[in-house]
Amino acid sequence: MAQGPLIDPNLTYATVTDKISSITLTRKTSLYWLLGVFISFALVMLLMLCVTVLLIKGVGIWGLNIPVGWGFDITNFVWWIGIGHAGTLISAVLLLLHQKWRTSINRFAEAMTLFAVACAGMFPLIHVGRPWLAYWLFPYPNTMGLWPQFRSPLLWDVFAVSTYATVSLLFWYVGLIPDLATLRDRAEGKFAQVAYGVLAMGWRGSARHWHRYETAYTLLAGLAAPLVVSVHTIVSWDFAVSVIPGWHTTIFPPYFVAGAVYSGFAMVLTLAIPLRQLYGLKDYITDRHLDNMAKVMLATGLIVAYGYLVEGFMIWYNGNVYEMSMLLDRMTGAYAPAYWLLITCNVVIPQLLWRPSVRANPWMLFVISIVINIGMWLERFIIIVTSLHHDFLPSSWGMFYPTRWDIGTYVGTIGLFLSLLFLFIRFLPVISIFETRELLSEEKEEGA
């Protein structure tokens, strides 16, 4: 299929700046935005209710039991961390590889990373039972000489996720500085001028400023790139270092990383397609962007499918009776419908992406991306619950049934994610202004 342009060649520097900045500064707040904020805020109130009841009554309000001590909470944690991967990959890795097609989607992908990590970080905090003592996880000097258990995967998660969030935040903010200065100079209200001026940190666009910016941005990209691999690898060790059948496997780190990029790109497509439709950004987020993201999604989906195949083969090859029993239970037991649904969502349906006509249809991509996100959530659920609900002793077997508080907390985090996203769209440039202008210049030079 012939590759289309990365940006409409009829655009100019002025129209690029006017269009992107107007979404934040001058465009009237749309009814869609107000409706979305209202629904999202209602879901945030649901989240606050669920967390408040949890703090009062304890984790017993969830469907956790013996032997299923992990349920929706850890499932949601792994799922949200995975969604946050695409932002770092698009921003840092593609920047280092000089892939120009990242330009129009990197800004909101980076924001998506931060909001997803915020949702993810909440679950281990409330799952420990006494979140007001969560600071015990940090190695701070104390009079009693107590130190964290550094061999605990929970502690590994604390360091991995906090490092990932910090570097991603710095990377996102540094990339925003030139655009914040543009908004400062174009804003009409005094408050907006002061707010954007403070955030722009005195940016004037001098050669010295640009030199320092490029140096800092490249260094942060170099720091962020290994985090794409390291964070979800460490999350996978929560399972792989155990002796539970279905978890104790060396394939989990690459398998989890591929799955994270898979679900992350699916979420970027889920957000990018309505965004470009509602705000008229088809000149910036072009069909070529959607096509490239669909190809990445197809490639990582094939890696995930290969992971399923290798996992099954190794269980058969090693002949461990507990592992074989676990796999048979996944395929034919009480959770078999969820297992086969995840295979359908993650392996079968994404094969439609081989067809150029499907990749060229935004709304088919939108549906497929939602299906993949559902499938990746089911994958985490199946990995966690089916490995726990049949313990080594039949007398310890049990089922996990989510309660209304499990479901309410999960739905509430979706509301938190969307609320932060709506606020970002309203008050900050959703597409990088200066990078889009650089891309426009490069495209015109190549066209000439």
- Name which residue leads in pLDDT, 5 or 177: 177
CATH of domain 13-447: 1.20.1630.10
Confidence label for 2 from pLDDT (cuts 50, 70 and 90): very low
Work out the average pLDDT over 236-244. 89
Cβ(90)–Cβ(109) under 8 Å?
A: yes
Work out the average pLDDT over 216-245. 88
Among 3-7, 394-398, 435-439, the least confident range: 3-7
Nearest to 193, CA basis, from 431, 424, 27, 25: 25
CA 420-426-429 angle, to 5 degrees, is 100
Helix (H) or strand (E) holding 233: helix 207-240
Residues of the chain with pLDDT > 70, as a percent, come to 98
Alpha-carbon distance 145 to 147, whole Å?
6
Work out the average pLDDT over 151-160. 86
| Max intra-chain CA distance, the chain | 75
Q: Which residues contact 340 (CB under 8 A, 6 or more apart)?
A: 331
Q: What is the pTM of this model?
A: 0.91
The residues spanned by each domain of the chain are 13-447
Buried b (16+ CB within 10 A) or exposed e, 45-55: ebbeebbeebe
Alpha-carbon distance 23 to 439, whole Å?
20
Q: What is the mean pLDDT of the chain?
A: 88
| pLDDT score, position 194 | 92
